[in-house]
Structure 1
Amino acid sequence: MSESDLGVRHLCRGIVTNPLGLHCNMSTGQAPYDELEQINQFLGGLGRAVERGATFFDTSDSYDYGNTERVIGTFLRRHPELPLQLSSKVGQLRGSAEHPYAGRRIHHQLEQSLENLYAEQLHLYTLDSFDFGPDDRYLGNAIDVMRTLREVESIKAIGLRGPSVSYAASPEEWAAEAERFLYLFRLVKPDVVWTRFNAFTPAVSIDGDDLFAFTARHGVGLVLAATLVHGLLTGEASSRAVLSPRRAGLIPPLIQQFDEGLQGLRDHFGDAPGALTRLALRSSLQRGDQCVVVVDFSNEQQVEESYHGMGLPLTPEELGVVGHAYADLRTGLHEAATRSSTNELQA
């Protein structure tokens, strides 16, 4: 990334990174597959990203049951000189513990992640679930453990997952999720919020602000994932990427609407390779200086497409065009979801 506007960003205290990093998740691959070939292609993608200037690698202990972390560790053993910043998550795997956040489970899982990653410290460690047991039984323990890990410098920053429900969820469901997030945010006091964000994410209100204004007001960084919706916003994937299996009936009518929306963007911005990728990545990165985007990939070619497609910043007018087109896609998704729910109730 040689463009001057893509210089390093201060995600939070202790984390200064290039704004385009990698979301490392090998479990998104399609089965059946050749495991060795998948690993080699993944390693190639990591190497290509570093050549492009990437410094921030985001993963989780739950991705492919820790195998993604181990593959990243293989890469780091081969390149110990690289000044990379590693981000992982905890809260999905329970193991033999009563709960993913119970007792010393967080500490034990961090030790396992560090071993997997061949690292001595994580730059960012994120609480990846809002489930803290009945009546939030393990919330206090989780907060205490995370703060201790930061104090002893096993991690540099505490992360909290942002509001996250189905893209086709009702406004009431999103509002409830935002309320839960705000409650946890005030208690955890994270340094960074990790969240999925793209054209289909509604602008939910959090204490009177959207997530970008809210985190900026509190001096908290943002890691944005799923910005390309697994290729849907670049015209390379089916609308299944944004829908749960129970919403599969929405797919046929939405495919045409998605295609028409993307074609409108092509008509305005041109149909050159990477044009739609640039719109999705730029419109996210330009939301705020505290934002870092992590892109999904499975091979070197996909990494190159993301970095090569960055291009120049979008002008305010261009951002308006993209925002309008994405709003139409979002409206179409929710209208289709509403019709589907009505039909289910009447059946």
Structure 2
Amino acid sequence: MEERVCGRSGQQLSTVGLGTWQLGGDWGEFREEDAPALLDAAVEAGVTFFDTADVYGDGRSERLIGAYLRARPDVRVTVATKMGRRVPQEPENYTLDNFRAWNDRSRTNLGSDTLDLVQLHCPPSEVIASDAVFDALDTLVAEKRVRGYGLSVETCDQALAAIARPGTVSVQIILNPFRLKPLERVLPAAEAAGVAIIARVPLASGLLSGRYTEQTVFAPEDHRTYNRHGEAFDQGETFSGVDYATGVEAAAEFARLAPEGASPAQTALRWIIQQPGVTTVIPGARNAEQVRANAEAAALPPLSDAVLQQIGELYDRRIRPQVHDRW
């Protein structure tokens, strides 16, 4: 699989990575004993980038990845984790002492003295504006706790503020055919600054797979049940902020745009991969078959100009009014 440079860090990341929120259990039940087979499938498919967070299953996702890598010392994978959402997202909590404590926990979970990439996990805008916060992040690098740092953000304005910081290696932002706003300013700014873009929620919480109907029922512990309207965290994290009924109808239209031989999900991933400035995309997967199908998107030919135009028109007609001005 093609690899791209992760911004200023120089690390090489596969164009399709693996998001591991599902290992924590917030996408319905996931058995710990199934993790090695899923991670093996990713590695065998050419994936060299895992993305996790200390809050996924309260550390369970990190621990499963750490155990896997200890059992497979031959595997070359860059692991990014995130920190900051195990406490209230209040600016006073983003201190060097807390960063060190959070980092210690993640290093223990992952079994690594120096973490490849640590990202602040969707912090408030006030945090991104704080010089002291970035001084603290620079200290983590100087202390060799982390090789580099980035930010996972909710809004384009937050992304632009993070990109402007000279130590920022990466920005993780929602980007998919139902979330086009980052194309306007964020991706060009990141490319100009040498900051990696990690595209998250690439399938709009599964909508873009085309598998769901209005009658689909998700498990109670699945965030697609309990956060549809932003009850637990930012609404944009679930179905990209699109109301479910609209999303299902738009996804059915999107599915009809898939080229021959490509699934709707692969088409969505291919669309992201070919956007200038994107470094990697991190779809989740619940089994080895999904992992392999996602990875295959990297080998698909670029989507035609006609398909790209149709995707833009679909977004303008059905999705833009709900999401474009919010994030």
Q: State TM-score, norm by structure 1.
A: 0.76
Alignment of 1:235-314 (within 5 A): 235-237=210-212, 241=224, 243-244=228-229, 253-254=245-246, 257-266=249-258, 269-270=259-260, 272=261, 274-310=262-298, 311-314=300-303
TM-align CA RMSD = 3.3
Report 1:5-84 matches (<5 A).
Answer: 7-12=2-7, 13-25=9-21, 26-31=23-28, 33=29, 38-84=31-77
| TM alignment of 1:318-337, pairs within 5 A | 318-331=307-320, 333=322
Checking the alignment, whether the CA contact within 8 Å between 1:275 and 1:309 is kept in structure 2 is no
**Alignment-derived partner of residue 178 in structure 2:** 200
Q: In structure 2, how many angstroms separate the alpha carbons of the residues matched to 1:58 and 1:296?
A: 9
More helix per residue = 1
TM-superposed deviation, 1:252: 7.1
Q: 1:218 aligns with which of 193, 196, 214?
A: 193
How far apart, in 2, do the equivalents of 1:259 and 1:198 lie? 12
Query: Is residue 179–residue 323 contact of structure 2 (8 Å, CA) maintained in 1?
Result: no
Match for 1:201: what amino acid? Answer: R
Residue in structure 1 matched with residue 124 of structure 2 by the alignment: 131
User: Cα distance 1:101–1:252, how it changes in 2: closer, same or farther (>3 A)?
Assistant: closer
> Which residue does 1:174 correspond to in 2?
none
Aligned to 2:164: 186
Corresponding letter in the other structure for 1:48: A
Residue identity over aligned pairs, in percent, reads 21
Offset at residue 330 of structure 1 (A): 1.4
Please give the per-residue CA displacement for 1:261-315, whole angstroms capped at 9, x wherever unaligned: 135325xx34x5x421221011111112552111111221221221234422223
Q: CA deviation at 1:145?
A: 2.0
Instruction: Give the Å deviation of 1:101.
Output: 1.5
Corresponding residue for residue 207 of structure 2: 232
Could you say which residue in structure 1 is the equivalent of 2:221?
none
Contact 1:107-1:145 at 8 Å conserved across structures: no
- 1:160 touches 1:185 (CA, 8 Å); kept in 2? no
Computing the radius of gyration from Cα coordinates, the structure with the larger value is: 1
